Chain A
Amino acid sequence: MSTTVIEQHKTTSALSATGLRVSTVTGAEILHGISFTLQPGRILALVGESGSGKTTAGLACMGHFRQGLELTGGSVTLNGGEQGNLLELPEHQLRTLRGGEISYVPQDPALSLNPAMRIGEQILETLRVHHFGDATAERLERVAEVLAEVGLDNSRSYQRRYPHQLSGGQQQRVGIAMAFACRPAVMVLDEPTTGLDVTTQAVVLETIDQLAERHQVAGLYITHDLAVVATVADEVAVMLAGDIVEHGSTDQVLFSPSHPYTRRLLRAVPDLAGKRRVGEVEAITGEHPLVVPGPLGIPDTTTATPRADDAKLLPATVAVREQESAPLLQVRGLALSYGGHKVLNGIDFELMEGESIMLLGESGSGKTTLSRCMAGLNDNYTGAVELSGAELATGTRKRSAGDRRRIQYVFQSPFSSLNPRRTIAESVGVPLQMAGVGNRRDRRAKVLEALDQVRLGGSYMDRRPGELSGGERQRAAIARALVNAPSLLVCDEITSALDVSVQASILDLLRTLQSETGMSMLFVTHNIALARHISQRLAVLQKGRIVDLGTTEDVLTNPQHGYTQELLANVPTF
């Protein structure tokens, strides 16, 4: 119960939660008695990694407990407590508060809006159940007003749209409009921008900020993204395994954290400028010469990312490299369309041996399709993919075993890419089996070697994925890709399902592996902040075209395309 009590100078708090305890019905405690208060017009960010109980805490404020959870202690009071403990109210009274006094903005609007109801009707329903206004006309007026407040079109025809006819950002703003419709005193925002593109995220964050300020709404902002916290929150509470370990103003927590966990969390946040070290390996910034291993795995220190002051050196070094080594992978005129929809529209780029390139794009930009084409998982593309100068056949089925071995793929979700019925050793051994390597014992030795490479070790060999954490699973998936010593590792959003600290350790691992083995890497992501931590070059993909391509330093400091400039302008930083 190490909760920091903040002295309250304001007269009344909008919401105050004291000693909240929540357990599973089987008795395991999820929240160990946490307390916090929300002030009108201010936003408290509840920060923590997955499983820390932050969503449970947010829902508990609304008297809602998900299947299998129950309240075991604590109280929640609204507006100084005139209605008493919210958690002890009978169901019908609680219902009048929910959506009225205290409202909720869900994490994934695509799942939380009723797909079969027009958006105007969904907002209107909230107003109707809370008897907002006297007549339907007045409520309709409010629907139009609140849509305008969140920056959406409020025409009748727009209100008649269904959720699937809106973009992700628009859906989330409808979610906010719904939560805001009855002018609540408190809003609980559960990771409302996770899954949105940075540009959209910026707009949504601004909307939230404005609403809270203008209408004196108190906000509880649940997130794992510390960069967003810096943008939106006034106060921060850091959660670790069901406890609040640190609580204070945003500046204080982010810039002079006192708890070691907060410091660790902050250290793991990738930043665009590369000032921090994510994990053990230094970020790739202009100030650090880059270690690019040669084809034989010998570090080749002659190639460095250009510094602003010795830009003259760049052409020389590049020229030397091009003479020395032909590109490992060359993509020429790659295009793919589904029906009339062009997913990829003429992609050209090359990848040198031992080089790491980041493929940056938002959802729907075609980045996963592109990497799948290169790996041969999509075979209906036109154009050419060349590996060491030889053109590859289109599908994996048509490629030779050797070609398949040389390009390995790590998938986004370690939760679905490992067969839950196989042990880690079995899963990691599959590529060896397919390549027909040695006997069982040889293969096991190689598997052990690969697991050692990803810092898992032999004790994981006979475990099954269910016993592993997300980060451990992703390491196992990487080991599976490494076991055959590929020339190119394609990493498709491999850290986006993981917490920041795990992400940091995975990035760290990849960098180390790359310099150890000298393989090339294509790192696909939507998170531009990772750029300096992983790649020497950066390709920006938009609507199936590469709009910007250059060294990471060049693209980040001198973006050529308007889209890249917009992305950079919207990245939350602190």
Chain B
Amino acid sequence: MIAKMIFRRLLVSVVILFAASMLVFVATLLLPGDPAQAILGQQATPARLDALREQMSLNDPVWQRYLNWIGGLFVGDLGYSAATGGPVSELLGERIQASLVLMGLASLVSIPVGIIVGTFSALRRGRPLDHVATGFSLVLAALPEFVVGIALITLLSTSVLKIFPSVTMAPPGEAVWAYPIQLVLPTLTLALVVTPYIVRMMRATMLEVLDSGFVEMARLKGVPERDVILKHAVPHALAPVAQVIAIQLAWMAGGVVVIEFLFRYPGIGSALVDAVTNRDVQVVQALSILIAAAYIVVNLLADLVGILTNPKLRTEAVR
């Protein structure tokens, strides 16, 4: 039953991904400017432009170009970058890895912290810890990410304490994680931006669950408080929180341009901005479809958490 359900969700995801690929393709067609012109510059002769257009298959019908592109996606061929001339997959490989590392580290910090702080906040409803946690998360949620980043740089890197470097400076060709200390500030900034939402959602759902009949019943059954929280309350509070986490993860996967810019971090956000500026259509397409895929994957994971924590979804007939 559960396998069938997941299979169905996967199928829907694939359909959505196809729709997204079409949108991405149409959107890049609508980008103003001619890629050939962008590559060759203003001084290019019409003959050279024509030759390049022919080489880039720009003269083929739209549907044929779309099919070529989508076919390439399946075999990992993302085309060639118009700006550098190299394969897109090579160009983006490092960027994607760097972004994944940042996203992974930030979620490793923010998800457990968010869930734990939210739970304790709910358990200590109305007491000092709760007030501190809710107040703090509200302030953090209200601050834009660059303010958080600049504040951290001021605090930990420049004016007050000088512990962590404020910029990422890995020599080209070396992975970002070779210099862990450079990752601290970007990770911390992202975690501080994302955690408040998780805390607030966890607190809200937890309060609701703590008021529910089955939690009262568990207490009246004589179940120790620790088990009441861990076995009866928390699992029920997780499903809505998973949705919030998914949205946050997807936001991070979309490339956090401001944070990458602030810390000179070589992620996909800045790569996408560059590609759009340079009319590097192949790169824009590749990144867009990648981000769309990331959105779909994290939402699928959130749905999965929902299914796992709610047997009703698992055992009722799939409609």
Q: Is the CB of B232 within 8 A of A114?
A: yes
Q: Does B240 sit within 8 A of A, measured CB to CB?
A: no
Contact of B227 (CB < 8 Å), options: A59, A116, A129: A129
Contact of B310 (CB < 8 Å), options: A99, A116, A130, A165: A116
The range of chain A's interface size is: 20 to 34
Contact of A178 (CB < 8 Å), options: B221, B224, B232: B221
User: Which residues of the other chain, A, contact B221 by a CB distance below 8 angstroms?
Assistant: 98-99, 103-104, 125-126, 129, 178
Chain A residue with the shortest CB-CB distance to B239: A116
Contact of A100 (CB < 8 Å), options: B214, B222, B224, B311: B222
User: Which residues of the other chain, B, contact A117 by a CB distance below 8 angstroms?
Assistant: 231-232
Compute how far the CA of A113 lies from the CA of B213 in the bound complex, rounded to whole angstroms.
8
Contact of B309 (CB < 8 Å), options: A64, A112, A116, A125: A116
Compute how far the CA of A114 lies from the CA of B213 in the bound complex, rounded to whole angstroms.
8
Interface of B is mostly: helix
The range of chain B's interface size is: 20 to 34
Closest beta carbon of chain A to B91's beta carbon, Å: 47
**B residues 266-319 with Cβ under 8 Å of A?**
309-312, 315-316, 319
Q: Does A67 sit within 8 A of B, measured CB to CB?
A: yes
Q: Mark A78-114, 1 if CB is under 8 A from B, else 0.
A: 0000000000000000011111100110101001111
Q: Does A398 sit within 8 A of B, measured CB to CB?
A: no
Q: Is the CB of B220 within 8 A of A104?
A: yes
Interface centre among B211, B221, B309, B310 (most CB of A within 10 A): B221
Q: Is the CB of B222 within 8 A of A98?
A: yes
User: Which residues of the other chain, A, contact B231 by a CB distance below 8 angstroms?
Assistant: 117, 125
Q: Does A162 sit within 8 A of B, measured CB to CB?
A: yes
Q: Is the CB of A111 within 8 A of B220?
A: no
Compute how far the CA of A106 lies from the CA of B217 in the bound complex, rounded to whole angstroms.
7
Q: Does B219 sit within 8 A of A, measured CB to CB?
A: yes
Q: Does B236 sit within 8 A of A, measured CB to CB?
A: yes
User: Which residues of the other chain, A, contact B208 by a CB distance below 8 angstroms?
Assistant: none
Closest beta carbon of chain B to A83's beta carbon, Å: 15
Compute how far the CA of A59 lies from the CA of B219 in the bound complex, rounded to whole angstroms.
11
Q: Is the CB of A115 within 8 A of B222?
A: no
Q: Does A164 sit within 8 A of B, measured CB to CB?
A: yes
Contact of B235 (CB < 8 Å), options: A95, A111, A116: A116
Q: Does B132 sit within 8 A of A, measured CB to CB?
A: no
Q: Does A62 sit within 8 A of B, measured CB to CB?
A: yes
Closest beta carbon of chain A to B209's beta carbon, Å: 10
Contact of A112 (CB < 8 Å), options: B217, B235, B312, B319: B217
User: Which residues of the other chain, B, contact A113 by a CB distance below 8 angstroms?
Assistant: 214, 217
Closest beta carbon of chain B to A110's beta carbon, Å: 8
Q: Is the CB of A162 within 8 A of B214?
A: no
Chain B residue with the shortest CB-CB distance to A118: B311
Q: Is the CB of A111 within 8 A of B222?
A: no
**A residues 525-551 with Cβ under 8 Å of B?**
none
Known: A95-B224, A164-B311. A112 touches B216 (CB 8 A): yes
User: Which residues of the other chain, B, contact A129 by a CB distance below 8 angstroms?
Assistant: 221-224, 227
Interface centre among A62, A64, A100, A129 (most CB of B within 10 A): A129
Chain B residue with the shortest CB-CB distance to A107: B213
Compute how far the CA of A67 lies from the CA of B235 in the bound complex, rounded to whole angstroms.
22
User: Which residues of the other chain, A, contact B219 by a CB distance below 8 angstroms?
Assistant: 64, 98
Known: A67-B211, A116-B310. A126 touches B220 (CB 8 A): no
Known: A97-B222, A99-B220, A99-B222. A111 touches B213 (CB 8 A): yes
Known: A112-B216, A114-B214, A114-B232. A126 touches B312 (CB 8 A): no
Q: Does B204 sit within 8 A of A, measured CB to CB?
A: no
Q: Mark A113-144, 1 if CB is under 8 A from B, else 0.
A: 11111000000011001100000000000000
Compute how far the CA of A114 lies from the CA of B212 in the bound complex, rounded to whole angstroms.
10
Compute how far the CA of A412 lies from the CA of B311 in the bound complex, rounded to whole angstroms.
31
| Interchain Cβ contacts within 8 Å, total number | 78
Chain B residue with the shortest CB-CB distance to A100: B222
Closest beta carbon of chain A to B167's beta carbon, Å: 47
User: Which residues of the other chain, A, contact B220 by a CB distance below 8 angstroms?
Assistant: 59, 62, 64, 98-99, 103-104, 106
User: Which residues of the other chain, A, contact B258 by a CB distance below 8 angstroms?
Assistant: none
Q: Does B218 sit within 8 A of A, measured CB to CB?
A: yes
User: Which residues of the other chain, B, contact A62 by a CB distance below 8 angstroms?
Assistant: 220
Q: Is the CB of A116 within 8 A of B222?
A: no
Q: Is the CB of B213 within 8 A of A115?
A: no
Interface centre among B217, B231, B315 (most CB of A within 10 A): B217
Compute how far the CA of A178 lies from the CA of B311 in the bound complex, rounded to whole angstroms.
20
**A residues 146-182 with Cβ under 8 Å of B?**
162, 164-165, 178
Known: A106-B217, A116-B236. A95 touches B222 (CB 8 A): yes
Chain A residue with the shortest CB-CB distance to B310: A116
Contact of B312 (CB < 8 Å), options: A111, A162, A339: A162
Closest beta carbon of chain A to B225's beta carbon, Å: 8
**A residues 46-85 with Cβ under 8 Å of B?**
59, 62, 64, 66-67
Interface centre among B211, B218, B232, B319 (most CB of A within 10 A): B218
Q: Is the CB of A112 within 8 A of B222?
A: no
Compute how far the CA of A178 lies from the CA of B218 in the bound complex, rounded to whole angstroms.
11
User: Which residues of the other chain, B, contact A96 by a CB distance below 8 angstroms?
Assistant: 222
Known: A99-B221, A126-B221. A115 touches B211 (CB 8 A): no
Compute how far the CA of A111 lies from the CA of B236 in the bound complex, rounded to whole angstroms.
13
Q: Is the CB of B315 within 8 A of A162?
A: yes
Q: Is the CB of A115 within 8 A of B311?
A: yes
Chain B residue with the shortest CB-CB distance to A95: B222
Chain A residue with the shortest CB-CB distance to B316: A164
Known: A116-B235, A116-B311. A111 touches B212 (CB 8 A): yes
**B residues 59-118 with Cβ under 8 Å of A?**
none
Chain A residue with the shortest CB-CB distance to B235: A116
Q: Mark A226-243, 1 if CB is under 8 A from B, else 0.
A: 000000000000000000
Compute how far the CA of A272 lies from the CA of B232 in the bound complex, rounded to whole angstroms.
43
Compute how far the CA of A96 lies from the CA of B220 in the bound complex, rounded to whole angstroms.
10
Closest beta carbon of chain A to B30's beta carbon, Å: 41
Compute how far the CA of A164 lies from the CA of B312 in the bound complex, rounded to whole angstroms.
7
Chain A residue with the shortest CB-CB distance to B125: A67
Chain B residue with the shortest CB-CB distance to A91: B225
Chain A residue with the shortest CB-CB distance to B213: A111
**B residues 188-226 with Cβ under 8 Å of A?**
211-214, 216-224
Q: Is the CB of B223 within 8 A of A125?
A: yes
Closest beta carbon of chain B to A508's beta carbon, Å: 34
Q: Is the CB of B311 within 8 A of A162?
A: yes
Compute how far the CA of A126 lies from the CA of B214 in the bound complex, rounded to whole angstroms.
13
Compute how far the CA of A64 lies from the CA of B214 in the bound complex, rounded to whole angstroms.
14
Interface centre among A64, A97, A114 (most CB of B within 10 A): A114
Q: Is the CB of A165 within 8 A of B315?
A: yes
Closest beta carbon of chain A to B203's beta carbon, Å: 16
User: Which residues of the other chain, A, contact B218 by a CB distance below 8 angstroms?
Assistant: 114
Q: Is the CB of A115 within 8 A of B232?
A: no
Compute how far the CA of A125 lies from the CA of B219 in the bound complex, rounded to whole angstroms.
12
Q: Mark B223-267, 1 if CB is under 8 A from A, else 0.
A: 110010001100110000000000000000000000000000000
User: Which residues of the other chain, B, contact A162 by a CB distance below 8 angstroms?
Assistant: 311-312, 315
Contacts A/B (CB < 8 Å), 14 sampled: A62-B220, A64-B216, A64-B220, A99-B222, A106-B213, A106-B216, A112-B213, A112-B214, A116-B235, A125-B231, A126-B221, A129-B227, A162-B315, A164-B315
Question: 8 smallest A-B Cβ distances: which pairs?
Answer: A111-B213, A99-B222, A99-B221, A112-B213, A98-B222, A112-B217, A104-B220, A114-B214
Q: Which B positions have Cβ atoms within 8 angstroms of A? A: 211-214, 216-224, 227, 231-232, 235-236, 309-312, 315-316, 319
Given contacts A117-B231, A126-B221, A130-B222, list 13 more A-B pairs with CB under 8 A: A95-B224, A96-B222, A97-B222, A100-B222, A103-B220, A104-B221, A106-B213, A106-B216, A112-B213, A112-B216, A125-B221, A129-B222, A162-B311
